[in-house]
Structure 1
């Protein structure tokens, strides 16, 4: 069960993550821990001594002010919902928050983070990759445009037979059990053989858990796979996506797989990803 939830609260746009994380804790009668980073100024050796001490102090104070403002919004929402909650702040220099958060998130059942806003890049953007690839726990990414609480009436499960997809489905089982409809979505670039029904075994598996499943096999044609998925969930009226997260680390930088990168960039629904 999802009893212990970590929520990375983005300083620039806390509301989408705050509302979603609090409603998740309310739905599963769990605890939610709000987390934020206070970023320390980065001063190069060449600039050291050239920047006035009061400017550096102001930057630190501004970081603390933003974190406290995010915590205030989180605290109000959690108290209003009557859920168990706590807050933690961490000191970090830009670029290190992802690694730190990934390690912290290992001690929770689930992590909730915000989708980076391409129009407003900031230091918090590394939280998604840190949670997905560094925590070993399922990660829910909430779109920066999302408003409202957790809704699980119709869930789209992206299935390609991979290890990551299987892991995501297992991690999402407490959420799947609350759905009224589950669409297993398979996207291919070619036609299947007439006697081949990919995904039927997964549909059978989920049906044995008494889950309301339907199998949908889509042809991407010349369209990118992630666009095919997002187009389908929009037409189907889905509330939530479950999928594997693909990528690897190279020189401490995360290299995302094409579908994962495309989904994260264009995400319009909350999505659970597992790696």
Structure 2
């Protein structure tokens, strides 16, 4: 089963901001080393939009100078990262990218199509704008999974206890499918359902039973946990249950609502990924 993990995640993408330290990259390098994976580092710098109008004409020279300086800083940072990964002796590539914020998610998505998993380290995760652009690129422009790692946690592709946030939806099903190599090696797998409704459609006559049987065929040791919300949000119930079971990985689907609605109202995805309490595997 360990070899199955290595075969499933052969290229891991790490997106870092040009002003970030080496901490996220070092975490990605260690994960790649442990799993004999290739590391693809994207060093991302966001360009200021070009000036427009009469005022823009007056500052265009300044804007051009700033752009040239920013690209020089990006090139230097990429060179430093290449030296870092070369010193560690792992298979890696480093690609500097300079683009406007409006197109950054598409740029990330284009690169992510050639990776199996993206690692969102604690330093990138602590940002707001850049993290959101990266996740939008992964989930909407590439439909690739992300492993979001909070501060103080160590990412692993061989978790001992996995909690699956399950609502019988398409996004949750996609996340489980992408995470099967990780679920299969776990000692304990908890299918967590909050206020599930039994029925012929949706959650089924016995909520969670179909998924449990499916995962059992992949060798998973599964427990179904049907939990009441009791006045708490779904995200709060799932996070607390993961802590109570000492889980080291949460698997969940991303953006069950439309992209616009998710941005306006937030939702379970936002709540569990904005400040995750444990490594969180997210797919859409």
Q: Return the TM-score normalized by structure 1.
A: 0.83
**SS at 1:51 equivalent:** helix
Q: 1:7 aligns with which of 3, 6, 14?
A: 14
Question: Across the two proteins, how many residue pairs are aligned to each other?
Answer: 270
Q: 1:223 aligns with which of 228, 232, 255?
A: 232
Matched, 1:148 2:157: no
1:166 and 1:223, CA in 2 relative to 1: closer, same or farther beyond 3 A? same
Matched, 1:96 2:106: no
2:3 counterpart residue number: none
1:199 counterpart residue number: 208
Cα RMSD, aligned residues only:
3.2
Q: What is the CA-CA distance between 1:118 and the residue it aligns to?
A: 9.0
Q: 1:65 aligns with which of 73, 83, 91?
A: 73
Matched, 1:213 2:213: no
Q: Measure, in 2, the Cα distance between the counterparts of 1:26 and 1:152.
A: 16
1:166 and 1:189, CA in 2 relative to 1: closer, same or farther beyond 3 A? closer
1:72 and 1:234, CA in 2 relative to 1: closer, same or farther beyond 3 A? farther
Q: What is the CA-CA distance between 1:27 and the residue it aligns to?
A: 3.0
Worse-matched range after superposition: 177-186 or 50-59: 50-59
Q: Return the TM-score normalized by structure 2.
A: 0.80
Q: Please list, as runs of the form range in 1=range in 2, the aligned pairs for 1:68-147 lying within 5 A after superposition.
A: 68-69=76-77, 72=80, 76=84, 79-80=87-88, 82-114=89-121, 120-123=127-130, 125-143=132-150, 145-147=151-153
Larger helix share, 1 or 2: 2
The 8 Å contact of residues 38 and 64 in structure 1, kept in 2 or not, is answered as: no
Q: Measure, in 2, the Cα distance between the counterparts of 1:18 and 1:269.
A: 19
Describe the superposition over 1:175-229 as per-residue Cα deviations: whole angstroms up to 9, x where unpaired: 223322222111117799xx96411221122122212222211111211111111
Matched, 1:48 2:56: yes
1:122 and 1:116, CA in 2 relative to 1: closer, same or farther beyond 3 A? farther
Matched, 1:37 2:44: yes
The 8 Å contact of residues 116 and 145 in structure 2, kept in 1 or not, is answered as: yes
1:214 and 1:98, CA in 2 relative to 1: closer, same or farther beyond 3 A? same
Matched, 1:169 2:176: yes
Q: Measure, in 1, the Cα distance between the counterparts of 2:48 and 2:68.
A: 7
1:154 and 1:11, CA in 2 relative to 1: closer, same or farther beyond 3 A? farther
Matched, 1:248 2:254: no
1:232 counterpart residue number: 241
Describe the superposition over 1:76-109 as per-residue Cα deviations: whole angstroms up to 9, x where unpaired: 36743x4211111122012321111112211222
Q: What is the CA-CA distance between 1:112 and the residue it aligns to?
A: 2.3
Q: What is the CA-CA distance between 1:141 and the residue it aligns to?
A: 2.3
Q: Measure, in 2, the Cα distance between the counterparts of 1:15 and 1:203.
A: 40
Q: 1:188 aligns with which of 187, 195, 215?
A: 195
**SS at 2:42 equivalent:** strand
Q: Measure, in 1, the Cα distance between the counterparts of 2:82 and 2:186.
A: 27
Extract unaligned runs of 5+ from structure 2: 1-7
